[in-house]
Every structure is written in C-alpha cells, then in structure tokens.
Amino acid sequence: MKYKYLLCACLWLSYTESTVAQVFMRAFDNSASMAMGGASVAYPDADMGIQNEAIPGFGEKTAVFLSSAIPYGISGWNTAQFQALQRIDDNSGAGIDMNYSGTDAYREQRYRLLYGRRIGEALYLGGSADWLRVSAGEYGAASAISFGLGLLVRALPDLWLGARIQNPVRQNIGIDAPSSVLRIGASWKPNDRLVLSAETEKILERPVQIKSGFEYRPIPALILRAGVRGGGTARLGFGAGVRLKGGLGLDMGSEWHPSLGMTPSAMIIWRRP
C-alpha cells in the first residue's frame, strides 16, 4: 500500500514543478471545463458550473452540479466537487462550492460560499469566502480562511471578458500557504451553438498557463468540447455532454498528460427549468 502513496507524491511533485510554499495540489476542473482545456473563466453561462464568482449574478433559478475525477487513472487518488446555485432576485444569486482531493494518507478540502450580482446591463461582480483544510493522517490537520473575487463583462454583443483572483492575501495553513491564482480570459459566443474561449492563468510559483478551447452544439441536446492548455507541459482536453428533459444533464471529459496519462471525469447537473 505504501508504494501507491509514494507514487501519488512523486506525481504531485513532478507536476507542480515548484513546491516552495505550496500546500494545495492543482485543483482538477469539472468535466465540462476540463474538456475545454480549462478555458472557462469567461464562459457566459452557468451550464459549466461556477467557473467565476460572478456567475451567481446571472440569476440562475436553482442548479446543482456534482463532478468527480480519477487523476491520471490512479485508483487511490480521487477528487469530488459539489456546487449549487440559487437565485436571490433577478440581479443576484448565491452559491456553494465544496471540493475534495486526496488519498487515504493525504486529503484536501475547500469550501466556498459565493455571492454574485449584476451591475448594469453588461457587468457582473462576485466574491467568495473560502475555508481550506488539509489533513495528513498521523501528522495532523490544519486549516485557513481566504477569499476570491470575480468579474464578467459583456464587452461586445458576442464577446465576454472574465477575470478572477483566488487567495489574493495568502493565509498560511500550518507553516505553508496556498498560492494566489489569477485568471484572465475571453469567450466569443456568436450564437447558441458555438463558444470559443481563451485565457491565461498565473499561479504564484508556477509558469503562466495559456488555455484555449471550444464548445459546439450540433443539436440542442448534444455538446462537443475540446481544448488545450500549455505552460511547461501541454495537456489536451476533450469530452461531450448531453442535455435531457427536466433540466438534467450529463457531461464526460478527460485530460491527457503526455507523461502522467489520462484523467477521466464525469459530471451530473440539474438546472431548474
């Protein structure tokens, strides 16, 4: 059993490239975002879950998203995410986001409460209060609080700009501190069938990532996605989704790493009609 944890640790260290003051492993995107190469910060809809703190401001009635992944196909390492949205009024909403990633020996949890609001016709703002926790068996556990901010702007009728920052004021968990993360991107949505997205992501101790992806709906019930992210090692994403009656949907996505292999992911969603 020990070799499994050692393998997970080696993969983590080789992937992050820099472990100075780094506590949290890279968060794995949900299935829809993973399939688009993670280029989702400016996605102008709640259909991919809460990809930006401003999303609750879109006034989604009620929505639930449940996603899980098996990083690089390692059976002892699992991730899970639960998100929910609830409209407060036509111009604002609230959300919750719960993330888990870990093995039997090491676990990470992140809990977020979110609020988003529409400011005018083309501007959406949002923020989150975050609680972070890590535990490592006999070595104990530690926790910290943080926050995030998000922005979405409809710059042109078909063009959206998005930005978000997580953990801008770094709070220690034990002797270390999770990194600050800044994402800036754009999405072009000329119609209801096509979305093209691109963004940059900067994590404090890591190289800048460039992400791009697309979403195409040949018919309303079927969604095809693909994307790529680069920054050290290029990774490819691809997947598909189906939309069923009653607001139900299923998304499948995978990310391929040339050294570490495939990360499969699945997500179930429900959006109140």
The residues spanned by each domain of the chain are 2-271
Average pLDDT over residues 50-74: 94
Residue type, 166: Q
**pLDDT range class, residue 131, cuts 50, 70, 90:** very high
Torsion of CA 100, 239, 236, 263, to 10 degrees: 40
pLDDT at residue 106, rounded to an integer: 87
pTM for the structure as a whole: 0.87
> In Å, how far from its chain's centre is CA 106?
21
Please state which of the ranges 41-50, 99-108, 181-190 shows the lowest mean pLDDT. Answer: 99-108
* DSSP assignment of 136-153: -GGG-EEEEEEEEEEEEE
pLDDT at residue 2, rounded to an integer: 38
Residue 50 pLDDT greater than 80, yes or no: yes
**pLDDT range class, residue 25, cuts 50, 70, 90:** low
Cβ proximity of 63 and 48 under 8 Å: no
Specify the higher pLDDT residue, 45 or 18: 45
pLDDT at residue 137, rounded to an integer: 78
Specify the higher pLDDT residue, 206 or 86: 86
Report percent pLDDT > 70 for the chain: 88
**From the candidate CATH numbers 2.60.120.10, 2.60.40.10, 3.30.1490.20, 2.40.160.60, the one assigned to the domain spanning 2-271:** 2.40.160.60
Identify the CA nearest to 182 among candidates 148, 159, 152: 148
Cβ proximity of 180 and 204 under 8 Å: yes
| Residue 225 exposure: Cα atoms within 13 Å on the Cβ side | 32
pLDDT at residue 167, rounded to an integer: 86
State the average pLDDT for the chain: 88
DSSP label at 46? S
Tokens of 132: 């972070």
3-state secondary structure of 67: strand
**pLDDT range class, residue 4, cuts 50, 70, 90:** very low
Residue 147 pLDDT greater than 80, yes or no: yes
Residue 60 pLDDT greater than 60, yes or no: yes
pLDDT, tens digit, 9 for 90 and up, residues 176-230: 667 789 999 999 999 999 999 999 999 877 889 999 999 999 999 999 999 999 9
